Amino acid sequence: MSHTLYEANAQRVQRCELAVPGSSPEMFEKALKSGVDFVFLDLEDAVAPDDKLQARKNVIQAINDLDWKGHGITLSVRINGLDTQYMVRDVVDLVEQAGAKIDTVLIPKVGVYGDVYMVDAMLTQLEMQEGLKNKIGIECLIETALGMANVEDIAKQGAIGGRVEALHFGVADYAASNRARTVNIGGLNPDYPGDQWHAAISRMTVACRAYGLRPIDGPFGDIKDPEGYKAGARRAAALGCEGKWAIHPSQIALANEVFTPPAAEVEKAKRILEALREAAAQGKGAAALDGRLIDAASERMANNIVRAAEAIAAKTQ
């Protein structure tokens, strides 16, 4: 292993993140009781321009009035883009009026690390101004060609800055930015031989894993196609993603199913660790289990499974 290692800025269970429009307060209570790991209250794409100011008020009220932590939910807010007139007041009003109850801020359409630095600097100043004891995390949406071209620098500088926790793949805007031909948000184009999002998700995931961030897959648009959702989630999980968005409560259980390690997988991982401990006690660096060689790489993979299962179990107790 290299002597250069980047530890995670924050550890959170994020199997599923439910998107909730800030302009639809009737959905807030349902999100609160949904059992999802993460909720982001949306001030950006899901809110029409004429509703932006009221949506911000709705979100601030919901943050203060509802017991998100008591329901085991990590709470995020997707602010408006840096290229809009809404972003500054989003950040200022959120932190001044509800900062103590916000876990993370989700920045849309991050193109360069400078976008992140601006929000980070604002959060730092506002936290000092308000005397907040909590440090609000940052999550970044990688959903443009520019953002993907700079994803390694965004991840690295974000990790060094100490506030960035996760990168999300925003498939819809990414497709638009690349002028890709799509048939469904997050779905596959039958003219492409395989998964057209594979390379992008893999690149983002590698950047996350190199610098201690969580990689999260974005939305799947067809809420009437649960099998399509699960297939996309399984492909993302195979590449190393920790979770996936839900744009409807019906998708939460689907994501939790995919991103929760199965009991049989956890049990096998524990057997691998035990077999390697026994081998180490005998001075051996490798062992055989069920007719297959296991070694230090097997140990690292097994530890990943066991730790994920333990974190989920601790959260759901």
Of 13-17, 43-47, 100-104, 286-290, the range with the lowest mean pLDDT is: 286-290
Report whether 255 contacts 226 (CB < 8 A). Answer: no
pLDDT in tens, 72-101: 999 999 999 999 999 999 999 999 999 999
Which pLDDT does position 249 carry in this prediction? Answer: 96
- CA distances, 91 to each of 9, 88, 102, 206 (Å): 21, 5, 11, 29
Structure pTM? 0.89
Question: Is 70 exceeded by the pLDDT of residue 53?
Answer: yes
Helices (H), the chain: 28-32, 52-65, 87-98, 113-130, 145-149, 151-161, 171-177, 198-210, 226-239, 252-259, 263-281, 296-316
**Tens digits of residue pLDDT in 207-237:** 999 999 999 999 999 999 999 999 999 999 9
pLDDT-based confidence at residue 3 (cuts at 50, 70, 90): low
pLDDT band per the 50, 70, 90 thresholds, residue 117 = very high
What is the three-class DSSP state of 165? strand
Identify the weakest region by mean pLDDT among 205-219, 230-244, 290-304.
290-304
pLDDT above 70 coverage of the chain, percent:
98
How large is the average pLDDT for residues 118-134?
A: 97
Q: Taking a C-beta distance cutoff of 8 angstroms, is the pair 136, 103 a contact?
A: yes
Distance CA 283, CA 174 (A): 51
More confident residue, 241 or 261: 241
Secondary structure (DSSP) of 50-82: GGHHHHHHHHHHHHHHS-TGGGT-EEEEEPPPT
Higher pLDDT, 21 or 9: 21
pLDDT of residue 58: 98
Determine the pLDDT at residue 269: 77
